Structure 1
Amino acid sequence: MNDNLSSSVNSQILTILIVISSILLFSVSPTASADGSLTSCDNISVSVKIKTWVDGIEGETLEGLSATFSAKISQTANDLVKQSVVVPKPSNCCSNVSSQVSGFTALAVRGDCDYLIKAKVAQAAGATGLVVINDSEDIVEMSCSEKTALDISIPVVMISKLAGEVLNKSLSGGSKVELVVYAPESPLIDPGAAFLWLMAVATVTCASRWSEITKSEDNSRRYDELSPKPDEEENEIVEMNTTSAVVFVITASTFLVLLYFFMSSWFIWVLIVFFCIGAVEGMHSCLVALVKSKCRSCGQKQVNVPLFGTTTVISLLVFLFCATFAIFWVWTRKESYSWVGQDTLGIFLIIAVLQLAQLPNIKVATVLLCCAFMYDIFWVFISPLFFHDSVMISVAQGDSSSGETIPMVLRFPRLFDPWGGYSVLGFGDILFPGLLLSFTVRYDKAKKRTWKEGYFVWLAIGYACGLLLTYLALYLMNGHGQPALLYLVPCTLGTCIVLGFVRGDLTELWNYNANESKQTLIGEEAA
């Protein structure tokens, strides 16, 4: 809570934060379109919504997944006729069922025979549709292996065990249950993605220039006893090298695999605790620096706090505010508005990390970003060859049984998507390019470059373009999760290298040493 943290404590906090934030999450849940008109085993399985009515009163809207052999499902529910629901006998719908299902939608349980057999039995009995209840909370794709065209003319969908219990409870009570099955499509472009893009670009730009934003007017001319000396500020900086860059990516991969295999609510709770600790520390340091930059006298009055020692009043008040903010977010993290608190905490955490960690030159930046580039591609696109599915996307989706998700992402709600959900961007997709942009800010300042002659503005534009390319690829690949660094690294690091080569600065950028540059500048001023 003290304003001047020791370098060892900062190093430990930074190590924890970077390892956690190394989970480069950029995945948007795919939604396929219900445009298949032929009934075969090769039809596209689509997500469906199921509107329900109990005794004529509209009830819950359930979600499910159509079978690959299902008849085409309408995209809207406006023109559809309500279908009454019955439980067939036998309930597994594996053999001839009673004629009571004729003109009704059959509600069958999973198991005892193939999905296709259930559909054929229900259709032969005159059912207008088939809803299969899974034996778990997951919803799996119902597929078949026949290569010839099928004669299934009814919609066939699967719902979760919990959704099935909702329908069965109403039916067992003697109520009349009706439903309508439809498959709404997500819009091609949702404004939420644009807001997330703007948030990410603003965050990386602000974080890279934070030291200038919080610099007081007289900071460069004098220091009083309560002001941090230049040496103290430098002691709190963790400068990365090529070895630590490689070790970091290896550590991140190990951590990601652990999350994949041991994903559970308690594991995510551990991450939530670490996230809150880091976010409170980051939010506290950023707000205190911002207040002191505008009101230098605000940081002079001190108070003695038991167990924590002496600190300033403003530091104590800001800490209490930050801790309360984080606790409130944890308490309401599953509410529809919780993304605001998560993004606020995340942005302050990113700003704080970029103030503590620095890249000394382009050589280290190249090693770090190239390793992160390969890391992102492997765990999104190549990992399915070695695991059951994409490790990165699986971790991004969190623990399905508890509904808990990884908090180390910025997210923004999909405003006009009938399926709801969020567009998300992992912290790593801001931190890694942000380290490079922060370096260019220091380099431009040391070399007294204007914005045209410098590198920061052009790399910021490159970052914005790279993120746009990520969204473009996301839409072209039907919503399949994209490794954002696949596009961000070439657009930032590539821009820096090309500009450096054209301007003749590449060798200097590659071997740049800030300390030597400062000594040279001091010598020139003395002469």
Structure 2
Amino acid sequence: MISLGALYSVVYVFLITVTLVLGGDIVHHDDVAPRRPGCENNFVLVKVPTWIDGVENNEYVGVGARFGPTLESKEKRANLTRVVMADPPDCCTKPKNKLTSEIILVHRGKCSFTTKANIADEAGASAILIINYRTELFKMVCEENETDVDIGIPAVMLPQDAGLNLERHIKNNSNVSIQLYSPLRPLVDVAEVFLWLMAVGTILCASYWSAWSTREAAIEQEKLLKDASDDYANTENVGSSGYVEISTVAAILFVVIASCFLVMLYKLMSFWFVEVLVVLFCIGGVEVSCSHSRLRTANVFGGSVIMIPFFGAVSYLTVAVTPFCIVFAVVWAVYRRSSCAWIGQDILGITLIITVLQIVRIPNLKVGTVLLSCAFLYDIFWVFVSKWWFHESVMIVVARGDKSGEDGIPMLLKIPRLFDPWGGYSIIGFGDIILPGLIVAFSLRYDWLAKKNLRAGYFLWAMTAYGLGLLITYVALNLMDGHGQPALLYIAPFYHWEKREGSSRFYGQEGNQKGLALISKMITNQLTTTIDQQQACILLGHYITFVTLL
């Protein structure tokens, strides 16, 4: 018998993952650093290509200050300017060296950023580069007591390693020249189009697989019932099901459990923690990939099995597929930092999502409404409201994998931004596919069991609502300069456009749904008999390990 608690463990591992669409933001807003006249710029990333003795060298990335004029957005308009070292290096007093529109390189510290910029401006510099004392970027702001700041040159912060490299070349008497510009992101990148197609296609495949397996199970049970078998006729005594139906209480508890899990990810985010997530992600990917073959061939090749110690009866197809699944997951884990590793991550991720949408189901639209409404509030809170307590968006920080040294966590689908001068990835969290997908899959199962065609049913409306909602999410993402957007904020309202029909769909098996209730019990019995008990427990064991470790 499959434990309901174990199945819920599987559910929550996936339902509390990141629900976010992100496009690689290059403009940073910061409510902690208030705006005032002369100090109201956005914090923009700045490209700093370098030339050493006329030969093109490394390109660095800095961040613009809150003060000073804005930088050029086109590379061809950015002047190639010579860089000189400040004397004294901190530029807290007037430089001893004479400046004629050069860019001055200074060290951070001893005085405010605006003091350094004012002194450099008065000395004749065309821009100021400030070297941070850490290998990271820092947002340069005005002091609290400063008003009407008027600085005539741009200021850019460089990470420590980049700044020290430039300083080393200057001290070696090399001629160092740089450009400063901040290119704009394209309005739409092809990565967003493909990511939209991936998300919609994943829900489409999962919904049809769920509806097909439900119909096949119902047909099989109808045949068994016609044989007047007492074991199958007594549908009131069916054992545990092979899938999980989310209750209204569980849908409400989702917000609490998901929030706790997200805060834990935020607080424990580190290199080793991401390594653990990668290992468990691979284990899950291997298990569900192999489980597909077990579920699909349970009836078709019921006799083609082999007995394996501890695992029990395993189909020959599973034995043949398992090594390839393991090798695929291991290769991805080892080479996940390569430029094409996103392909493997997306394959494993889509497999996981489809499996969750096959195992996890909502019994009626009432539960789906509660679940999506709770997720709607959860998404808004952790993307926007959490900034008031944590001074940064918890959801965005977790999605990017900050402080981990990794390029994001594995519980995401992502595609590289091909035409973006800043590169990076467009991503979408598993939750933005799984949660709406539960309603879409339910709609198709309902249509098939109620014998509704595509135009008269609800599936087309639900699928259209998801597609339009996700499309609006990407529009908002680009209008907000690539800042992470809570996709459910835009997707959930579109589901209110669906057609309505009495209480049968909202309350599920109540009202005049005795026939559907009987079929549902048949499905429950059929799904219970298709999965070998030992195999299912082994599969669930890996997911329970995930929850235990976290």
Q: Shorter-chain TM-score: which interval?
A: 0.7 to 0.9
Query: Partner of 1:383 in structure 2?
Result: 386
Q: Percent identity?
A: 40
- 2:401 aligned to which of 398, 403, 406: 398
**Segment of structure 1 superposing worse, 85-94 or 56-65:** 85-94
Query: Partner of 1:509 in structure 2?
Result: 505
Query: Partner of 2:20 in structure 1?
Result: 25
- State how far apart, in whole Å, the 2-side matches of 1:394 and 1:288 are: 38
- State how far apart, in whole Å, the 1-side matches of 2:249 and 2:441 are: 20
Report the CA distance between 1:255 and its aligned residue.
0.9
Q: 1:397 to 1:217 in 2, by over 3 A?
A: closer
Q: 1:73 to 1:209 in 2, by over 3 A?
A: same
Whether the 8 Å CA contact 1:7–1:236 is kept in 2: the answer is no
- 1:495 aligned to which of 472, 478, 497: 497
**Segment of structure 1 superposing worse, 370-379 or 8-17:** 8-17
Query: Partner of 1:144 in structure 2?
Result: 142
- State how far apart, in whole Å, the 1-side matches of 2:92 and 2:85 are: 13
- 1:275 aligned to which of 270, 277, 281: 281
Structure of greater relative contact order (alpha carbons < 8 Å, 6+ residues apart): 2
Query: Partner of 1:337 in structure 2?
Result: 340
Query: Partner of 1:200 in structure 2?
Result: 199
Runs of 4+ in 1 over 6 A off after TM superposition: 214-219, 229-234
Task: Please give the secondary structure, in 2, of the residue aligned with 1:99.
Answer: coil
Q: 1:477 to 1:399 in 2, by over 3 A?
A: closer
Query: Partner of 2:359 in structure 1?
Result: 356
Task: Report the count of equivalent residues.
Answer: 499
Q: 1:58 to 1:400 in 2, by over 3 A?
A: farther
Query: Partner of 1:189 in structure 2?
Result: 188
Query: Partner of 2:97 in structure 1?
Result: 99
- State how far apart, in whole Å, the 2-side matches of 1:430 and 1:407 are: 15
Whether the 8 Å CA contact 2:48–2:180 is kept in 1: the answer is yes
Whether the 8 Å CA contact 2:92–2:115 is kept in 1: the answer is yes
- State how far apart, in whole Å, the 2-side matches of 1:169 and 1:282 are: 53
Query: Which sections of structure 2, spanning at least 5 residues, go unmatched?
Result: 29-35, 225-230, 522-550
Query: Partner of 2:7 in structure 1?
Result: 11
Output the TM-score relative to the length of structure 1: 0.86
Whether the 8 Å CA contact 1:214–1:289 is kept in 2: the answer is no
Whether the 8 Å CA contact 2:87–2:97 is kept in 1: the answer is no
Whether the 8 Å CA contact 1:99–1:126 is kept in 2: the answer is no
- State how far apart, in whole Å, the 1-side matches of 2:85 and 2:159 are: 16
- 2:268 aligned to which of 262, 269, 273: 262
Query: Partner of 1:421 in structure 2?
Result: 424
The 5-angstrom pairing of residues 211-360 of structure 1 reads 211=210, 220=219, 235-287=241-293, 289=295, 292=297, 296-297=300-301, 300-305=303-308, 308-360=311-363
Report the CA distance between 1:85 and its aligned residue.
2.3
The 5-angstrom pairing of residues 65-104 of structure 1 reads 65-99=63-97, 101-104=99-102
- State how far apart, in whole Å, the 2-side matches of 1:490 and 1:218 are: 33
**Segment of structure 1 superposing worse, 256-265 or 100-109:** 100-109
Report the CA distance between 1:288 and its aligned residue.
5.1
Q: 1:8 to 1:72 in 2, by over 3 A?
A: closer
Task: Please give the secondary structure, in 1, of the residue aligned with 2:390.
Answer: coil
Whether the 8 Å CA contact 2:22–2:485 is kept in 1: the answer is yes
Report the CA distance between 1:349 and its aligned residue.
0.3
Task: Please give the secondary structure, in 2, of the residue aligned with 1:73.
Answer: coil
- State how far apart, in whole Å, the 1-side matches of 2:426 and 2:416 are: 6
Deviation string, structure 1 residues 250-281 (Cα, Å, up to 9, x no partner): 11001111222222112222222222222222
Report the CA distance between 1:479 and its aligned residue.
2.6
Query: Partner of 1:449 in structure 2?
Result: 452
Q: 1:72 to 1:115 in 2, by over 3 A?
A: same
Q: Is 1:466 matched with 2:462?
A: no
**Segment of structure 1 superposing worse, 430-439 or 390-399:** 390-399
Report the CA distance between 1:516 and its aligned residue.
4.1
Whether the 8 Å CA contact 1:134–1:161 is kept in 2: the answer is yes
- State how far apart, in whole Å, the 2-side matches of 1:475 and 1:276 are: 32
Query: Partner of 2:174 in structure 1?
Result: 175
Task: Please give the secondary structure, in 1, of the residue aligned with 2:288.
Answer: helix
Whether the 8 Å CA contact 1:444–1:454 is kept in 2: the answer is yes
Query: Partner of 2:433 in structure 1?
Result: 430
Q: 1:319 to 1:237 in 2, by over 3 A?
A: same
Output the TM-score relative to the length of structure 2: 0.83
Task: Please give the secondary structure, in 2, of the residue aligned with 1:381.
Answer: helix
Report the CA distance between 1:144 and its aligned residue.
1.5
Deviation string, structure 1 residues 397-446 (Cα, Å, up to 9, x no partner): 21246134111111122121100111111110111111111111221122
Task: Please give the secondary structure, in 2, of the residue aligned with 1:235.
Answer: coil
Query: Which sections of structure 1, spanning at least 5 residues, go unmatched?
Result: none
Task: Please give the secondary structure, in 1, of the residue aligned with 2:42.
Answer: coil
Task: Please give the secondary structure, in 2, of the residue aligned with 1:64.
Answer: strand
